[in-house]
Copies of this chain bind each other. A is one copy, B any other.
């Protein structure tokens, strides 16, 4: 019984590689969060009046923030779980439940990251076009939005790759 459970477990090298990809996802999510949350600008609306614009004023950036938080929390959980599994040689690493959790988790989180990046790209492109000629400050604000969305897009691509791997790792008896 114990040996058949051991056979189901993925090799340590494959699990280490997965942790490295997940660490890359986490790093780019944190970087995207840092770029986005520090993204502020001042908008001149009159001769003596200027308004401070923050990322929270753009609804799509708020959604992007939500997807980053979900993605980072899930990735952190997966990294911790995999490292724990490698260190303790945990027998449940290749169990049907874990494989199904990985499959649905990777799939849902990759959709969240994809929609977060798409919403941010779409809103940035259209708001930048709508506020054309409002000065270099506004342009810089949206350029930072592009940078944050690009990092999120990179996270999504890595997560989509992990989702393909977890699909091929699905239990064969289902």
| Chain A positions near chain B (C-beta within 8 angstroms) | 58-60, 63, 103, 107, 110-111, 114-123, 125-127, 129-131, 160, 163-164, 167-168, 170, 172, 174
Contacts and interface: CB of A to CB of B under 8 A. Distances in A.
Copies, count? 2
A60 B111 contact: no
Given A116-B118, A117-B115, A160-B111, A125 B59 contact: yes
B58 A126 contact: yes
Nearest to A163: B107
18 contacts: A58-B126, A59-B122, A59-B125, A59-B126, A59-B129, A60-B123, A60-B125, A103-B167, A110-B111, A118-B118, A118-B119, A119-B119, A120-B122, A126-B126, A127-B127, A127-B130, A167-B170, A170-B170
Contact of A115 (B58, B118, B131): B118
A14 to B, nearest CB: 15
A60 B126 contact: yes
Nearest to A174: B168
Contacts of A167: 103, 107, 167, 170
